[in-house]
Amino acid sequence: MITRILKIVLGLLLAVVLAGAVWLGTAGRPLLRIATGSVSRGLCVAAFVSHVDPGRVFREQHAPQMRSIAWAVRWRVDKARQEASASVLGAFEARAVFRPGLGCLLLHGDGPVPEAAGFAPAPIASPFPDRVVASDDPAIRAALGRAFAEPDPAHPRNTKAVVVLHDGRLIAERYAPGYGPDTPIWAHSVTKSLINALVGILVREGRLRLDQPAPIAAWQSPDDPHRAVTIDQLLRMDSGLPFDETDGVPNPMTRMIFLQRDMAGYAARMPLAHAPGTAWAYGNLDYMLLGRIVADAAGGSAVAAERFARRELFAPLGMAHTLIQADATGTLNGAGGSYGTARDFARFGQLYLDDGVVDGQRILPAGWVAYSHSQTLDTGYGAGFWLNIKDDTRVPVWNAPWGMPQLPKDMYYARGAFGQYVVIVPSEKLVVVRMGISLDYGDHTGDLVAAIIRALHARPAP
């Protein structure tokens, strides 16, 4: 009897081992490589770009997403070599290296680091005061206090920064411990709105046209259906490329970001799911290709692309701490690779509130702002910005609301994963930036902005 039980137990253990081996050889391998790639790059940025505690970032951002395997993840930050690495039980190791002026590059293999020296960017003067600006309005202070409150410890908001501009003036801001006005924070898909601006600048300069076929080298064959895709369609996400950010972790977005050396090359190989211009689908692929188009126009290298962004956009606005990371081929990670301070992104929002003009200088072409928040097909999306006009349907696949129903209909906004928002309300002359690590999207940004608007309306007339 004991022998029989032992045989059954050993048989079950063997089956588990074999199943695990099969899983690691198929679905498990890319999943674990994505996990270690995400951790190594995220902690490299925490240590060398944001200058915040990498351990805290791992606990707040990475561990909750990995749940069942977080215990097995080992990570290390090497300050002398300016790099971070991560592995799962000593295997599937990934390494990210800091490049001055360029952020962190996730490496694929042991080859040389492209543009390893990076560059030393010239300082950009900030238009804001050195001190933190606290509101003199108790209602606004209370609204910011609620944004930083943690009513449900099981679902933390992890708000890191809130900045409020009204009529172009900084009227309130608040930061979490360890964060401040000079702390760059991962903006995720707010990057797409930065790419919108860089494309707009190239249109203003006459180097791109919205109606032209996208200048992607791999799409130039006469019989390639991708050849019909225009720059406008990439910006609007109705290019025909598939919805690439689904619930499964190994999806086209994560494979592109964490497994590919040439991200735009991967995006260019993706088959069309629809005829161009006929269907909307959330597209990191689209914006990675736009990152390649911008980089090519700027000179092709990561350094050239970053210099272009700083010279044409960040410096005129006083975005003193913003960068867009690039891959090993020099493609700007237009899907979600930017870091900047909440103040920087407030200035960016103000640029759109002021119709693309800053200090009398036109940055974006006339009509570009209106174009950017004009509706795409029957959606709540424009061209790099989300709109607040759709109450009757929800975002496909995600089943999430398009906008924020408690806010004015003319509001539009840049949005990034984990609660990054640049909310622009023209009718209120208001820009509100909220940044954090809200894995459950429990950031209540719409409520925050609504409370600020109520407080502004309650002020006595001058």
Is a pLDDT exceeding 50 seen at residue 173? yes
In whole angstroms, give the CA distance from residue 339 to residue 336: 9
Question: Residue 312: what pLDDT?
Answer: 98
Crossing angle (nearest 10°) for helices 302-309 and 284-298: 90
Which amino acid is present at 128? Answer: F
DSSP annotation of 135: -
What is the Cα–Cα distance from 245 to 337, expressed in whole angstroms? 15
pLDDT in tens, 200-217: 999 999 999 999 999 999
The average confidence (pLDDT) of the chain is: 92
Structural domains of the chain, ranges and CATH numbers in brackets: 29-106 (no CATH), 138-458 (3.40.710.10)
Structure confidence at residue 442 (pLDDT): 61
Amino acid at 335: A
253-282 pLDDT, tens digit each? 999 999 999 999 999 999 999 999 999 999
Over range 304-314, report the average pLDDT.
98
Supply the pTM of this predicted model: 0.93
Tokens standing for 434? 């909220």
Which among 120, 30, 124, 374 has a CA at the least distance from the CA of 236? 374
The radius of gyration computed from the CA coordinates of the chain, to the nearest angstrom, equals: 23
What local confidence, expressed as pLDDT, does residue 109 receive?
Answer: 75
Q: What is the mean pLDDT of residues 437-448?
A: 84
Rounded Cα gap, residues 274 and 255, in angstroms = 21
Q: What does the pLDDT look like over 402-437, one tens digit per residue?
A: 999 999 999 999 999 999 999 999 999 999 999 999
The one-character DSSP state at 184 is: -
246-249 contacts, C-beta under 8 A, 24 or more apart? 246/397, 249/31, 249/34
Residue in the structure block whose two tokens are 């109606």: 211
User: 3-state DSSP call for residue 457?
Assistant: helix
Q: For the stretch 306-333, what's the b/e string if a residue is b when 16 or more beta carbons lie within 10 angstroms of its beta carbon?
A: bbbbbebbbbbbbbbbbbbbbbbbbbbb
Cα distance from N-terminal residue to C-terminal residue, the chain: 91
Q: Which pLDDT belongs to residue 426?
A: 98
Contact 292, 331 (CB under 8 A): yes
The gap from C-alpha 123 to its chain's centroid, in whole angstroms, comes to: 24
Q: Which two tokens stand for residue 280?
A: 């909307």
Q: Who wins on pLDDT, 390 or 11? A: 390
Cα gap 125→315, rounded to integer Å? 8
Percent of the chain having pLDDT more than 90? 85
DSSP string, 266-324: HHHHSPPSS-TTS-----HHHHHHHHHHHHHHHTSSHHHHHHHHIIIIIHHHT-TT-EE
Give every CB contact of residue 147 below 8 A, 6+ residues apart in sequence.
Answer: 157, 159, 162, 174, 434, 443, 444, 445, 448
Helix ranges (DSSP H) in 133-283: 138-148, 190-204, 231-236, 252-259, 263-269
Determine the average pLDDT of the residues in 391-396: 92
Please state, in angstroms and rounded to a whole number, the distance separating the CA atoms of residues 153 and 160: 16
Q: At what angle do helices 2-25 and 28-45 cross, to 10 degrees?
A: 60
- Which tens digit of pLDDT belongs to each residue from 217-255? 999 999 999 999 999 999 999 999 999 988 677 899 999
